[in-house]
Amino acid sequence: MRKLFVPSLVLVAAAGLAVAATALGARSTAAAPAAIPGCAPGSLNLIEDGVLTIGTDNPAFPPWYGGGEKTKPWKLSDPYSGKGYESAVAYSVARQLGFAKSAVKWTVVPFANSYRPGNKPFDFDINQISFSPARAKAVDFSKSYYFVNQTVVGRKGKPIAKVRSIAGLRSYKLGAQLGTTSYSYIVDRIKPSSSPLVYDTNDAAVQALKNGQIDGIVVDLPTAFYVTAVQVPDGVIVGKLPTFGSKERFGMVFEKGNSLRRCVDKALDRLWRNGTIKKLQSVYLARAGAPDLK
């Protein structure tokens, strides 16, 4: 069981990613990073002593996860592989906190369950979960490990593929996964003339696009590249949607009040400073650009 968190206590990446295996979070022979003060594994507020338990959804999709189906019950991709952007970031954070790769355990957590209030079966969850003030009332978020662009995906040869503005999208039937900022963007910013369709999983939204039940789906940009390259043979990125206000960001999610968040934030600060985050984004998320919708 998780150790009791006492509020009065303040608990005070892999280096040299020269080859892809190291960049992907694989075991490295490089010297371990200097310890973060107050953040040794024995001092952290963990579900299981000495083990870092990380949650994500299943299937775990590229480019966020990779490595193929090897460890049950994981489908499509295997978070234990250390491949894919989120898996690689998670293992890089773990290493900064002093965890060996073998001391990291992954657990299945459906997307919508990750930010609900209550006790959590994970130390942190990493699953393209965007920070929002509403979600932050129920859980705590780390600092950003990725800044997000929402993107519209349609099909080649269809009228929506020629759209170049938000206003031009309003006459089309759009869809997105339940509980996502993608769905909120459709409702709050695009404001289509017909109610958007909502799906329990992104897979279901993609299937609806393939079936012609909707004209377009809204997803983050790296997911859009995967959808158009793998899932929808005639898929096309219609364009990136503009950001309103502060940049949307993905953060790790923690049970409310868990002091582990402070240490993860310090680890992320290091990974941004030493260039690890930039290198991992180059390995996993660097793709050709997409047009901007106005």
| pLDDT recorded at residue 287 | 76
Q: Is the pLDDT of residue 286 over 60?
A: yes
CA distance 192 to 7: 46
Mean pLDDT throughout 263-281? 98
The torsion of the CA quartet 98, 45, 130, 20, rounded to 10 degrees, works out to 20
Could you give the CA distance from residue 179 to residue 201 in angstroms, rounded to a whole number?
10
Q: What percent of the chain has pLDDT over 90?
A: 84
Identify the pLDDT of residue 34. Answer: 75
The pLDDT of residue 157 is above 90:
yes
**Residue 71 pLDDT:** 92
Report percent pLDDT > 70 for the chain: 89
Dihedral sign for Cα 77, 82, 87, 88, please. Answer: negative
Q: Count CA atoms within 13 Å of residue 203 on its CB side.
A: 10
140's enclosing H/E stretch is strand 139-148
pLDDT given at position 238: 98
Checking if the pLDDT of 132 tops 50, the result is yes
- The pLDDT value recorded for residue 288 is 64
Helix extents (H) in 175-226:
181-185, 202-211, 221-226
For 3-46, how does the pLDDT look when each residue is reduced to its tens digit (9 = 90+)?
433 333 333 233 333 334 444 444 444 556 777 999 999 999 99
Closest by CA to 85, choosing from 58, 101, 64, 69, is 64
Q: Which residues, listed in sequence order, are joined to residue 251 by a DSSP beta bridge?
A: 144
Give the separation between CA 206 and CA 258, rounded to whole angstroms: 35
Mean pLDDT calculated for residue range 249-266: 98
Nearest to 179 by CA among 213, 195, 151, 202: 202
**Ramachandran angles phi, psi of 82, nearest 5°:** 75, 5
* 232-249 tens-digit pLDDT: 999 999 999 999 888 999
Residue 155 bridge partners (DSSP) = 235
Structure tokens at 72: 């049950």
pLDDT band at 281, cuts 50/70/90?
Answer: very high
pLDDT, the chain, mean: 89
Whole-angstrom CA distances from 119 to 47, 52, 103, 113, 254 are 10, 16, 22, 11, 10
Model confidence at 272: pLDDT above 70: yes
Q: Alpha-carbon torsion 242, 244, 245, 250, what sign? A: negative
Cβ(97)–Cβ(52) below 8 Å:
yes
- The more confident residue out of 33 and 251 is 251
DSSP per-residue letters across 252-266: EEEETT-THHHHHHH
pLDDT band at 266 (very low <50, low <70, confident <90, very high): very high
Domain annotation for the chain: domains and CATH numbers: 20-147+250-284 (3.40.190.10), 150-240 (3.40.190.10)
pLDDT for res 199: 97
Task: Please count the other Cβ atoms lying within 10 Å of the Cβ belonging to residue 105.
Answer: 16
170, pLDDT greater than 90: yes
Residue 289 or 130, more confident: 130
